[in-house]
Amino acid sequence: MAALKIEANSLGILTVTEQPEANTEAPEVTAETVENKQRPYGVRNPNALIEQRQQRLYRRQLDGLSARQLVLDHADREGVSVATAWRDWEAVNRWNAEDWNRDRENMLARLQTMRTKLFNAAIRKGQLQTAAQVLDSLGKVVNESGVEAQAAAAPQLAITIEDRRAES
C-alpha cells in the first residue's frame, strides 16, 4: 500500500499525494510549508470596531440629547450593554476635552467669524435687535467699553450723617 504525503501547492493549498515508499509516520505540516494569505476584507480588529462604535456616539452628541439619553440610545442602536455604552461615553468625553484643549487658541477667531456672519445675516433679514446685540458683543471683545469707561459710568454714592443729638 502506498503512503500518503501532504504537500502545499503553489497556491498554498494542502494536497494529498501518493508516495511509493512506505511511510508509517504522520506527515509533518509546519507554518513555513503553508503560505498565509490575508483575508480579502482585512483582519477584523476588535479595537477598530470599538473605536468606530465610539465615533458614532461622538457624532450623535450634537443631537441635543442628555448624556443619559445618548448612552441608552447608543446601547440600543449598537446592541451593547449599558455599561459598555457608558465606557464609550467616557471615551467621547476624553475626545471632547482633547478637542477643547487643541482648539482653545483658535476659539476667539472662530467666535469672531461666527459673530460677523450672524451680524450680516441679521441685517439681511431685518432683525435689528439681534444685530445690535451682536455689535455689543463684538464691542466687548475689542474692549470698546473698557474698565475705565465702566468705572466712570458707575453710579456715585454719597453718604452724609446728620447729628440729631444737637437738635434736642
Q: How is the chain split into domains, by residue range?
A: 1-37, 46-103, 107-143
Residue type, 161: I
Cα–Cα distance, 88 to 94 (Å, whole number): 10
What mean pLDDT comes out for the span 3-31? 59
Grid cell listed for 16: 494529498
Least confident of 4-8, 34-38, 115-119, 164-168: 34-38
3-state secondary structure at position 153: coil
Which DSSP state fits 162?
A: -
* Segment 105-159, tens digit of pLDDT: 888 888 888 999 999 999 999 999 999 998 888 887 777 666 666 666 777 888 8
When the pLDDT of each residue in the chain is averaged and rounded to a whole number, the result is: 79
> Where is 18: in which H helix or E strand?
strand 14-19
> Where is 5: in which H helix or E strand?
strand 3-8
Q: What's the predicted TM-score (pTM) here?
A: 0.46
**Count of beta carbons in the 10 Å neighbourhood of residue 128:** 10
Task: Output the pLDDT for position 12.
Answer: 60
Residue 90 has pLDDT above 80, yes or no: yes
